[in-house]
Amino acid sequence: MNPIQQQNQHIIWLDVVRLIAMFMVVCCHCTDPFNFYPGVAPNIDQIKYWGAVYGSLLRPCVPLFVMITGALLLPLRSEASVFYKKRIPRVFFPFLLWSVIYNLFPWITGLLGLNPEIILDFFPYSGEEATKQSLAVSLDYIRQIPLNFSILAVHMWYIYLLIGLYLYMPIFSAWVEKASERAKLYFLLAWGVTLLLPYYNEFVAPYLWGRCSWNDFGMMYAFAGFNGYLLLGHYLRNLEWSLGKTVAIGIPMFVGGYLITFFGFRHITALPSYSDELLELFFTYCSINVLMMTLPVFMLAKKVSVRSEWVRSALANLTVCGFGIYMIHYFFTGPSVILMRNLGVPVSVQIPAASVAAFGVSWLLVWIIYRCMGKKAKWVVG
């Protein structure tokens, strides 16, 4: 999500993928007030239904970001120390700054004399502790930043992942640079097997291939996780399909993945009770159904041709502003949904309408920060 270029090469279709992924992630967070509606409402069934419809549709958002990183950076063209020095600080310092701001938000609302319920309007995940509007609670969340994200900065989970991928990338890159296309394909096939494991572990048995109570690292562990999306982005960058082939393969694949995701999620939410882990099972990014949705989006985006210089310029600006948009957008998703409800927008289109508003405001604010701060803005918004 942060601005990445390889060998000063600007690839327009990857800018298109970034736009799709960025809007998808904002839209995805606009589903939180639907899927985690705080309270009751006469049309709660309708709210939950549309939350599931859009929530299922948007699962490719994070995998697309990782694939962009793999497509642009693998194999690395610099030493590991140079890569770390360039990439990690530009991610870490904005992440730290905005994590602190998000965690101080409940306390600030208390200072302003605002109703504690406003916190749930902004952050549907937050609970009773956050609504205390206590400085002690906020400081405790801040203290835990080195360990994990808080319920007030849920979207920051991705930054821990991104830093981890950056730390791993020089090691992975050494293999990618020397591996044949067939070897890369074999790796991706092995990774594909791991995408079935969430469902095996839930519905068949918790342990497989050497995993047990004293070992979490089974036979396929080294092939599992988001490193597969890194390699997939690198692999697909140079894979060319005709538009007919892309549509013929991609659309049925996407529809199949979506149906699994949607009906699986609806099945879980219809149960009398379920754990947080079970609720997220069919939304898991490293699962076969989400891959089935992600791959067609990536391949179809390669077919997009952008001739307008204005659109090219806007996409290039999004490349610069994208990381900052990710940092700040979560402040605007909840209020944007409330705005659409108050405006009487039909429930079926409230999520995309709110997404346009939240995305637009976030982009504008990050652009203003860059205009006011120049190069120093990288320490604030990446």
Question: For position 165, what pLDDT does the model report?
Answer: 96
Burial of 345 (0-12, 13-18, 19+ CB in 10 A): middle
Report the pLDDT averaged over residues 18-42.
90
- Inter-CA distances, 130 with 33, 104, 112, 118, Å: 16, 10, 15, 11
Would you state the pLDDT for residue 9? Answer: 56
The model's pLDDT over 165-221, given as tens digits with 9 standing for 90+, comes to: 999 999 999 999 999 999 999 999 999 999 999 999 999 999 999 999 899 999 999
Residue 4 has pLDDT above 60, yes or no: no
Q: What is the pLDDT of residues 207-263, one digit of tens each?
A: 999 999 899 999 999 999 999 999 999 999 999 999 999 999 999 999 999 999 999
Predicted local distance difference test score (pLDDT) of residue 130: 87
Q: What is the pLDDT of residues 278-290, one digit of tens each?
A: 999 999 999 999 9
| Per-residue pLDDT tens digits for 295-304 | 999 999 999 9
Instruction: Give tens-digit pLDDT for 344-371.
Output: 999 999 999 999 999 999 999 999 999 9
What is the model's pTM?
0.92
What are φ and ψ of residue 215, in 5° steps?
-150, 115
Angle between helix 44-57 and 12-30 (nearest 10): 160
* DSSP calls for 32-53: HHHHT-SS--TTHHHHHHHHHH
Say whether the peptide bond before residue 75 is cis (omega within 30 degrees of 0).
Answer: yes
The confidence band for 1, taking pLDDT boundaries of 50, 70 and 90, is very low
CA angle 10, 27, 74 (to 5 degrees): 30
The per-residue pLDDT for 55 is 96
The average confidence (pLDDT) of the chain is 92
Q: Is the pLDDT of residue 63 over 50?
A: yes
